[in-house]
Amino acid sequence: MARAVPETHAEILLAAARRFASTGYKGTSLQDIAGEVGCSKATVLYHFASKEALLTELMAPAIAVLVGLDARIAEQERGADAQRVAGEGFVDLAVRFRREIALLRGEFTELLQQPAFVHIRQISDRLIDALAGRPDRPSARIAALVVLAGIAETCAEFIDIPDDELRPALLAVVRRALEPVT
Protein backbone atom coordinates (compact mmCIF):
# COMPACT_ATOMS: atom_id res chain seq x y z
CA MET A 1 0.00 0.00 0.00
CA ALA A 2 1.35 3.43 -0.95
CA ARG A 3 2.15 5.96 1.74
CA ALA A 4 0.04 9.07 2.10
CA VAL A 5 1.29 12.10 0.21
CA PRO A 6 2.41 14.79 0.69
CA GLU A 7 5.27 13.59 2.90
CA THR A 8 6.20 15.89 5.69
CA HIS A 9 9.10 18.23 5.74
CA ALA A 10 10.47 16.54 8.86
CA GLU A 11 10.38 13.05 7.31
CA ILE A 12 12.40 14.26 4.35
CA LEU A 13 14.95 15.95 6.64
CA LEU A 14 15.37 12.76 8.68
CA ALA A 15 15.78 10.65 5.56
CA ALA A 16 18.34 13.10 4.17
CA ALA A 17 20.30 13.00 7.43
CA ARG A 18 20.36 9.19 7.37
CA ARG A 19 21.46 9.10 3.73
CA PHE A 20 24.12 11.78 4.14
CA ALA A 21 25.49 9.88 7.16
CA SER A 22 25.61 6.56 5.33
CA THR A 23 26.66 7.52 1.79
CA GLY A 24 27.89 11.09 2.20
CA TYR A 25 26.48 14.30 0.81
CA LYS A 26 28.01 13.81 -2.64
CA GLY A 27 26.96 10.17 -2.73
CA THR A 28 23.31 10.94 -2.01
CA SER A 29 20.82 12.02 -4.65
CA LEU A 30 17.41 13.57 -4.18
CA GLN A 31 16.03 10.37 -5.68
CA ASP A 32 17.79 8.37 -2.93
CA ILE A 33 16.15 10.55 -0.29
CA ALA A 34 12.74 10.26 -1.96
CA GLY A 35 13.13 6.48 -2.10
CA GLU A 36 13.90 6.30 1.60
CA VAL A 37 10.86 8.41 2.46
CA GLY A 38 8.63 6.55 0.01
CA CYS A 39 7.70 9.58 -2.06
CA SER A 40 8.62 11.04 -5.42
CA LYS A 41 11.58 13.29 -6.14
CA ALA A 42 9.02 15.97 -7.02
CA THR A 43 7.68 15.78 -3.46
CA VAL A 44 11.17 16.31 -2.08
CA LEU A 45 11.59 19.29 -4.42
CA TYR A 46 8.23 20.66 -3.28
CA HIS A 47 9.64 20.89 0.26
CA PHE A 48 13.26 21.76 -0.61
CA ALA A 49 14.54 23.65 -3.64
CA SER A 50 17.71 21.52 -3.84
CA LYS A 51 19.94 19.05 -2.05
CA GLU A 52 21.97 22.04 -0.81
CA ALA A 53 18.77 23.51 0.71
CA LEU A 54 18.24 20.23 2.58
CA LEU A 55 21.77 20.29 3.95
CA THR A 56 21.46 23.98 4.84
CA GLU A 57 18.34 23.32 6.90
CA LEU A 58 19.90 20.29 8.58
CA MET A 59 22.94 22.33 9.56
CA ALA A 60 21.13 25.58 10.48
CA PRO A 61 20.99 24.99 14.26
CA ALA A 62 24.70 24.13 14.45
CA ILE A 63 25.61 27.09 12.25
CA ALA A 64 23.58 29.43 14.45
CA VAL A 65 25.55 28.25 17.50
CA LEU A 66 28.82 28.67 15.56
CA VAL A 67 27.87 32.24 14.62
CA GLY A 68 27.09 32.93 18.29
CA LEU A 69 30.47 31.51 19.30
CA ASP A 70 32.15 33.74 16.73
CA ALA A 71 30.42 36.76 18.30
CA ARG A 72 31.50 35.72 21.82
CA ILE A 73 35.11 35.34 20.64
CA ALA A 74 34.98 38.79 19.01
CA GLU A 75 33.95 40.30 22.36
CA GLN A 76 37.21 39.07 23.93
CA GLU A 77 40.57 40.75 23.83
CA ARG A 78 43.00 38.60 21.90
CA GLY A 79 44.81 36.25 24.22
CA ALA A 80 43.97 33.78 26.95
CA ASP A 81 40.29 34.75 27.29
CA ALA A 82 39.66 34.43 23.56
CA GLN A 83 41.50 31.11 23.52
CA ARG A 84 39.44 29.79 26.45
CA VAL A 85 36.13 30.95 24.95
CA ALA A 86 37.05 29.45 21.57
CA GLY A 87 38.17 26.11 23.02
CA GLU A 88 35.26 25.63 25.40
CA GLY A 89 32.74 26.97 22.90
CA PHE A 90 33.88 24.72 20.07
CA VAL A 91 33.94 21.65 22.31
CA ASP A 92 30.39 22.44 23.46
CA LEU A 93 29.23 22.94 19.87
CA ALA A 94 30.89 19.74 18.64
CA VAL A 95 29.51 17.63 21.48
CA ARG A 96 26.00 19.04 21.05
CA PHE A 97 25.93 18.68 17.26
CA ARG A 98 28.03 15.55 16.80
CA ARG A 99 25.40 13.86 14.66
CA GLU A 100 25.43 16.81 12.27
CA ILE A 101 29.24 16.78 12.22
CA ALA A 102 29.15 13.09 11.35
CA LEU A 103 27.05 13.93 8.28
CA LEU A 104 29.90 16.01 6.89
CA ARG A 105 32.72 13.56 7.53
CA GLY A 106 35.27 13.72 4.78
CA GLU A 107 33.36 16.34 2.80
CA PHE A 108 33.70 19.43 4.97
CA THR A 109 36.27 21.20 2.78
CA GLU A 110 34.21 20.71 -0.37
CA LEU A 111 31.00 21.78 1.32
CA LEU A 112 32.61 25.05 2.43
CA GLN A 113 32.84 25.97 -1.25
CA GLN A 114 29.04 26.01 -1.59
CA PRO A 115 27.48 29.49 -1.42
CA ALA A 116 25.37 28.68 1.65
CA PHE A 117 28.48 27.81 3.67
CA VAL A 118 31.14 30.29 2.50
CA HIS A 119 30.82 32.37 5.68
CA ILE A 120 31.69 29.27 7.73
CA ARG A 121 35.22 29.38 6.28
CA GLN A 122 35.69 32.93 7.61
CA ILE A 123 34.39 31.93 11.04
CA SER A 124 36.71 28.91 11.03
CA ASP A 125 39.69 31.15 10.31
CA ARG A 126 38.79 33.43 13.24
CA LEU A 127 38.28 30.38 15.47
CA ILE A 128 41.74 29.08 14.52
CA ASP A 129 43.26 32.51 15.28
CA ALA A 130 41.60 32.58 18.71
CA LEU A 131 42.66 29.02 19.54
CA ALA A 132 46.20 29.67 18.34
CA GLY A 133 46.49 32.65 20.67
CA ARG A 134 49.45 33.72 18.59
CA PRO A 135 48.13 33.60 15.02
CA ASP A 136 51.42 34.97 13.70
CA ARG A 137 53.17 31.73 14.72
CA PRO A 138 52.66 28.89 12.24
CA SER A 139 53.17 26.25 14.94
CA ALA A 140 50.33 27.74 17.01
CA ARG A 141 47.99 27.84 13.98
CA ILE A 142 48.88 24.24 13.10
CA ALA A 143 48.10 23.11 16.65
CA ALA A 144 44.78 25.01 16.57
CA LEU A 145 43.75 23.42 13.27
CA VAL A 146 44.69 19.94 14.50
CA VAL A 147 42.65 20.54 17.66
CA LEU A 148 39.58 21.68 15.68
CA ALA A 149 39.78 18.78 13.25
CA GLY A 150 40.45 16.32 16.05
CA ILE A 151 37.50 17.52 18.10
CA ALA A 152 35.17 17.26 15.10
CA GLU A 153 36.42 13.80 14.13
CA THR A 154 36.26 12.54 17.71
CA CYS A 155 32.70 13.78 18.17
CA ALA A 156 31.64 12.17 14.89
CA GLU A 157 33.30 8.89 15.86
CA PHE A 158 32.03 8.68 19.44
CA ILE A 159 28.37 9.46 18.97
CA ASP A 160 27.26 7.25 21.86
CA ILE A 161 29.65 8.44 24.60
CA PRO A 162 27.69 10.51 27.14
CA ASP A 163 28.25 14.26 26.92
CA ASP A 164 29.46 14.42 30.54
CA GLU A 165 32.30 12.02 29.66
CA LEU A 166 33.17 13.36 26.22
CA ARG A 167 33.26 17.08 27.05
CA PRO A 168 35.87 16.94 29.86
CA ALA A 169 38.06 14.57 27.84
CA LEU A 170 38.03 16.95 24.88
CA LEU A 171 38.69 20.00 27.04
CA ALA A 172 41.70 18.25 28.58
CA VAL A 173 43.08 17.59 25.10
CA VAL A 174 42.52 21.23 24.11
CA ARG A 175 44.45 22.45 27.17
CA ARG A 176 47.36 20.08 26.52
CA ALA A 177 47.57 20.67 22.76
CA LEU A 178 47.47 24.47 22.63
CA GLU A 179 50.23 26.84 23.65
CA PRO A 180 49.06 28.88 26.61
CA VAL A 181 48.75 32.57 25.88
CA THR A 182 50.42 34.84 28.39
Q: Does residue 5 have a pLDDT over 60? A: no
Q: Does residue 2 have a pLDDT over 70? A: no
User: DSSP character for 28?
Assistant: -
How far, in Å, CA of 54 to CA of 26, rounded?
13
Q: What is the model's pTM?
A: 0.85
Q: What is the pLDDT of residue 3?
A: 52
> What single string gives the DSSP state of each residue in 68-84?
HHHHHHHTSPTTHHHHH
As a whole number, mean pLDDT of residues 160-177 equals: 96
Q: Which residues contact 12 (CB under 8 A, 6 or more apart)?
A: 33, 37, 39, 43, 44, 47, 48, 54
Q: What is the pLDDT of residue 114?
A: 78
Q: Does residue 4 have a pLDDT over 90? A: no
Rounded to the nearest 10 degrees, the angle between the axes of helix 118-132 and helix 51-74 is 30
The Cα diameter of the chain in Å comes to 68
pLDDT per residue as tens digits for the range 110-157: 777 778 788 888 899 999 999 998 778 899 999 999 999 999 999 989
Q: Does residue 162 have a pLDDT over 70? A: yes
Q: Are 34 and 40 in contact (CB under 8 A)?
A: yes
As a whole number, mean pLDDT of residues 95-106 equals: 87
pLDDT per residue as tens digits for the range 49-88: 999 999 999 999 999 999 999 999 999 987 899 999 999 9
Share the mean pLDDT of the chain.
89
User: Percent of the chain scored above 70 by pLDDT?
Assistant: 96
Q: Are 17 and 103 in contact (CB under 8 A)?
A: yes
Peptide bond into 6 cis (omega under 30): yes
List the Cα angle 89/108/85 in 5-degree steps.
10
Q: What is the pLDDT of residue 43?
A: 92
